[in-house]
Chains A and B, each alone.
Chain A
Amino acid sequence: MSKSLPAELELRCQQILSADQQGVALTKADYFWFLVVTVVVPAILIAVGVAL
């Protein structure tokens, strides 16, 4: 037996499945540059720092 959710929450759970209501997702390019900044840049910083 399932307890029902508040009506407002129930509607929100349905509506948020629509792409129009969801947040705009990251693209592959976003992930690429994100990884560059958070993986490649730190690697360069460490390499330079160790070399000093």
Chain B
Amino acid sequence: MSILGSAKLAEENGWPLMRSERGFGKTAIFLAAFSAAMATWCFTIGGFVAYYLSATTGTFATLAGALLGILLVTLATLPMCSKYGIDSVIASRAQLGTRGSYVSLILVYCSAMGWSILLFIYKGRAIAELLVSFDIMDRSHFDLCVKIVGVLAIFIVLDLIRKGPEYVRSRGPIIAVVVAVMSLVILLLLVQRVGVSGVVDAVAVSPYPQGAGNWASAIEVLIASNLSWWAYIGTIVRTSPSARGSLWPVVIGFGLGVGLGSLTGLYTGVAVSGSGGDPTDFLVSQGGLLVGAVMLVFLLVANVGTAMMGIYAASLAIRQLPKADKLSWKWTIFLVSVPAMVIVALFATSANSFFSIFLAFLGVAFAPICGIQVADWFILRRQRYDVRSLYQLDKSSAYFYVAGVNPAGFLGFAAGIAVYIYLLDPVTYVYRPPFQYLTASFPSAIVAGVVYVVAVRVLVAPFGLGGYGRRTRVPQAGTQDAPPVGDVEPGPVTPEPAPARSELPVLGPRASGAG
């Protein structure tokens, strides 16, 4: 351990990680990204695409949407999180303010729990289907069984999470393999049932009359789904020494992971009437009792593991709220899960209704945040943060703005939300032009970014708030963050005199294998 303390402590507290402390290479980043993305929620995502497009056109839209989604969220997180070894929520303090960034925490909590709720509903369905298949329960009790099992599953997951973060993390790659095998078996069963032509010729479940609207809706599903990786990407790439080394593992692991995983849901959605991409019912009816039962057990194992990671991530986010860290870990994970129990009980029999609302939430919430972060990082701050101000939560922070909240950030955020809701009604899913040509997430992000830039220049920078126009004092010459000549305002942002290079402690090798 150096004078800087252990890397593990820094990682868990969200403090900057030095390059020499970051142990994740390309393969580790890819595996972390792929195992997070490749979960059974992909079936629901693909099933949603099946409402709008057939298997053939849906395949193209799914892959295109996955890549477009990863464009936005990667630009908003990877450059800054990788540069400073910080996570996405900490990075958002520069745009939302030291207190305003609590909004980011709430969004991270909601997205992690939303995906987990979907998994709990799947778990309930899998158990109910097994009980019906083995004549243990009558199908008339199916819905009630899904609700009870879904809530019970939350308690089982809570018990497993108590074993700690390493136990949670180590499940990821296993789950990805399980889901990949399941996807292949489902595809084989599909081909066995309807043939390749049966899948290819199947039409969309409930398309709009206009083709462009169907394409935009299908692509929007994938964009919004990938925007929810906002927190995950920051957390993963800060453990890698190189943004260059993280870029393609993130694009392929998250982007194509979701895209390819969703294809199984798409094909199931169009070929199996009324499934919505959910294979639980179809697995037993087509695979027979033995294959169906084995696959449903696979589904349960995969969902338990993925839900563990979701609740773990949500709990970590909530513990960053003021005074939340005073709660014990047991109470934190329990209280974090209570809303999930209520929602699972309410939505257990209508997962698709829940998913449509959740999907709209992801787009509404994360598209504007991404637009604001991209505009701030690339246009206003010229790819530099005052790192100390990200952690200094009082008035001495450059990111304290007005009472800890950046009015420009919230103006941009509100503008982005308004644009999204105008283009795509999140409740009825009725769209307005030009949604069919632009989707809703991209215009929302762009408008949020533009409003943010204008608001900063009119409302924030002229009053000396936000550290705009200033450069952080650097500890030695010749560094990346050295101020350009003539571009420095009087008064350093960092109050302490910077030590000479020889006075700085030398960091040793990565102190732990935490990652």
Give the interface of A toward B (CB within 8 A).
1-3, 5, 8-27, 30, 34-35, 37-39, 41-43, 45-46, 48-50, 52
In the complex, whether B244 has a CB less than 8 A from a CB of chain A is: yes
* Residue ID in chain B nearest A25 by CB atoms: B243
Whether the Cβ atoms of B507 and A21 lie closer than 8 Å is yes
Closest to B388 in A: A13
Q: Say whether A23 contacts B19, CB under 8 Å.
A: yes
B57 contacts the other chain (CB 8 A): yes
Q: Which A-B residue pairs are the 4 nearest by beta carbons?
A: A49-B60, A2-B396, A38-B71, A19-B480
A11 to chain B, nearest CB (A): 5
Give B residues with C-beta under 8 Å from A: 3-5, 9-10, 13, 15-16, 18-20, 22, 56-57, 59-61, 63-65, 67-68, 70-71, 74, 78-79, 82-85, 211, 215, 219, 237-238, 240-247, 251, 255, 383, 387-388, 391-397, 472, 474-476, 478-481, 494-496, 498-499, 504-505, 507
Q: Which residue of B lies closest to A4 (CB)?
A: B392
| Min CB gap B199→A, angstroms | 15
Q: Is there contact, CB below 8 Å, between A17 and B475?
A: yes
Chain A residue with Cβ nearest B54: A52
Q: How far is the CA of A35 from the CA of B72 in the complex (A)?
A: 10
CA gap between A41 and B255 in the complex, in Å: 13
Q: How far is the CA of A11 from the CA of B478 in the complex (A)?
A: 19
Residue pair B67, A37 in contact (C-beta under 8 Å): yes
Chain A contacts of B68 at CB under 8 A? 38-39, 42
Q: A2-B495, A49-B57 are in contact. Are A38 and B67 (CB under 8 A)?
A: yes
A8–B9 Cα distance when bound, in Å, is: 10
Q: Which residues of B contact A27 (CB under 8 A)?
A: 244
Check A17–B507 contact: CB distance below 8 A.
no
A20 to B85 Cα, complex, angstroms: 13
**Contacts A3-B394, A14-B504 supplied; 5 other A-B pairs, CB < 8 Å:** A8-B9, A17-B481, A23-B246, A38-B70, A49-B60
Asked if B83 and A45 sit within 8 Å, CB to CB, the answer is no
Asked if A46 contacts B395 (CB within 8 A), the reply is no
A-B contact pairs, 5 of them (CB 8 A): A12-B16, A15-B507, A19-B478, A25-B243, A37-B67
Cα–Cα distance between A45 and B368 once the two chains are bound (Å): 26
Cβ distance A18 to chain B, nearest Cβ, rounded Å: 5
CB within 8 Å for A16 and B85 given contacts A25-B243, A49-B64 = yes
A51 to chain B, nearest CB (A): 10
- Across the interface, B57 reaches (CB within 8 A) one of A17, A21, A38, A52, namely A52
B63–A24 touching, CB < 8 Å: no
Known A-B contacts A12-B15, A14-B504, A37-B67; the reply to A30 vs B480 at CB < 8 A is no
Given contacts A8-B15, A24-B244, A49-B61, contact A13 B479 (CB under 8 A): no
A25 and B383 CA atoms in complex are apart in Å by 10
Complex CA distance for A19 and B70, rounded to whole angstroms: 27
For residue B244, which residues in chain A have a CB less than 8 angstroms away from its CB? 24-27, 30
CA distance A2 to B395 in the complex (A): 7
Q: Nearest-CB distance from A46 to chain B (Å)?
A: 5
Question: Complex formed: what's the CA distance from A37 to B255 in Å?
Answer: 11
Q: Is the CB of A17 within 8 A of B64?
A: no
Shortest distance between the CB of B197 and any CB in chain A (Å)? 15
In whole angstroms, what is the CA distance A9 to B397 when docked? 15
Whether B82 and A17, one on each chain, are in contact in the complex, defined by CB atoms closer than 8 angstroms, is: no
Question: How far, in whole Å, are A26 and B250 apart by their CA atoms in the complex?
Answer: 13
* Inter-chain contacts of B10 with A (CB < 8 A): 8, 12
Nearest chain A CB to B243's CB is how many angstroms away? 5
Q: A2-B396, A13-B391, A46-B215 are in contact. Are A26 and B243 (CB under 8 A)?
A: yes
Q: How far is the CB of A7 from chain B (nearest CB, A)?
A: 8
Measured CA separation A2–B504 after assembly (Å): 23
Report chain B residues within 8 Å CB of A22: 19, 83-85, 480
> In the bound complex, do residue A24 and residue B243 qualify as a contact, i.e. CB atoms below 8 Å apart?
yes
Set A8, A15, A46: member contacting B475, Cβ < 8 A: A15
Task: Tell which of B64, B65, B245, B496 has the most Cβ of chain A within 10 Å.
Answer: B64
Q: Across the interface, do B67 and A41 meet the contact criterion of CB distance under 8 Å?
A: yes
In the assembled complex, the Cα of A26 lies from the Cα of B243 at a distance in Å of 6
Q: Which of B79, B242, B395, B475 contacts A14 (CB 8 A)?
A: B475
Q: Chain A residue with minimal CB distance to B68?
A: A42
